[in-house]
Amino acid sequence: MPKVTIREERCKACGLCIHYCPKGVLGPSEKFNAKGYHPTEVKHPEKCIGCTICAQVCPDQVFEVYR
């Protein structure tokens, strides 16, 4: 099953990945990261198709994608 991992300390909560993920896999977390942002988290891992779109639009190199 395709899968993404998130290096949450790099995330700046810009929302681009959430917006462009074709499957609605991602969403903002409640907690703060060390930079003071609410980082993206994987809300629906089962939906991920490993398309790498999140990784591509992420300006902060947060994602690793596995297929």
Partner 1 sequence: MSTETMKKVYSIPESLRNRPHHYCPGCGHGIVLSIVGELVDELGVRDRAVGIAPVGCSVFLYEYYDFDCVQAAHGRAPAVATGLKRANPDLFVISYQGDGDLAAIGTAEIIHAANRSENFSTIFINNAIYGMTGGQMAPTTLLGQKSQTTPYGRNPNTDGFPVRVCELLNSLEGPYYLERVCVATPQDRVKAKKAIKKAFTYQLEGKGFSLVEVLSQCPTNWGMSVLDSVKWVKEVMAQTFPLGVFRDKGQQK
Partner 2 sequence: MADKVGTVEFIIAGFGGQGVLFIGRALAFAGLARDVNVSFIPSYGPEMRGGTANCKVVVSDGEVGSPIVEEPDVLIAMNRPSLERFVNTVKPGGTVFVNSSLIENEVERGDIKAYRVPFNELAREAGAERVANLAALGAYVASQDFFTLEDMEGAVKEMVKGKRVELMEANLKALRAGYDFVRNLA
Question: Would you tell me which residues interact with ligand SF4 (CB under 6 A)?
Answer: 4, 11-17, 21-23, 25-26, 40, 48-54, 57-58, 60, 62, 65
Kindly tell me the sign of the dihedral angle through the C-alpha atoms of 25, 51, 2, 59.
negative
Asked if 66 and 43 touch (Cβ cutoff 8 Å), the reply is no
Which of residues 12, 23, 43, 47 is near partner 1 by CB under 8 A?
12
Positions touching partner 1 (CB under 8 A) are 1, 3, 5, 9-10, 12-16, 19-20, 35, 37, 50, 52-53, 55-61, 63-67
